[in-house]
Amino acid sequence: MLAEKIIEKKAEPDCDCSIIGSINIISGKWKPVIIWTLLSGPRRFGELYKAIDGIALKVLSRHLKELEADGIINRKVYAEVPPKVEYTLTEKGMSLNDVMQLLAEWGKKNIVAE
């Protein structure tokens, strides 16, 4: 166990811990896409699934739970039959808007243009 901690500590780059923490919350192939999609407003699970081409249902479900646990999204369940669940960004999630816009601009200039 001690060896794992030493190895883990050496693997961390010498940079601001807030950067590492931020990347840990929004990292992955699908989390930024989920956040980007929710920036335009509330979405139901099925709407998110249809809007995000290529994501597996299980992966979408897991990422939504993780983003909710991290305080990035809200999950609102309506007492209806059939059940209705709606996802929205929290204030913390909405604060990612500028970061997401900059990432989109960077991608357009440096990836799509190539």
Asked whether residue 112 is assigned to any structural domain, the reply reads no
Handedness of CA 40, 32, 73, 86 (dihedral sign): positive
Model pTM above 0.85: no
* Domain enclosing residue 73, as ranges: 19-107
CA 65 from centre of chain: 10
Q: What is the mean pLDDT of residues 8-19?
A: 64
Number of domain units in the chain: 1
pLDDT (0 to 100) of residue 17 = 79
Handedness of CA 102, 108, 112, 114 (dihedral sign): negative
Q: Encode pLDDT of 47-100 as tens digits.
A: 999 999 999 999 999 999 999 999 999 999 999 888 899 999 999 999 999 999
Task: Quote the CA–CA distance of 14 and 8 in Å, as a whole number.
Answer: 13
Asked whether residue 5 is assigned to any structural domain, the reply reads no
* Band of pLDDT at residue 2, cut at 50, 70 and 90: very low
Task: Quote the CA–CA distance of 68 and 23 in Å, as a whole number.
Answer: 16
pLDDT (0 to 100) of residue 96 = 96
* Band of pLDDT at residue 19, cut at 50, 70 and 90: confident
pLDDT (0 to 100) of residue 3 = 45
Q: What is the mean pLDDT of residues 8-16?
A: 57
Asked whether residue 4 is assigned to any structural domain, the reply reads no
CATH number of the CATH domain containing 90:
1.10.10.10
pLDDT (0 to 100) of residue 6 = 46
Number of C-beta neighbours around residue 18 at 10 A: 8
The C-alpha R_g of the chain, in whole angstroms, comes to 17
Asked whether residue 113 is assigned to any structural domain, the reply reads no
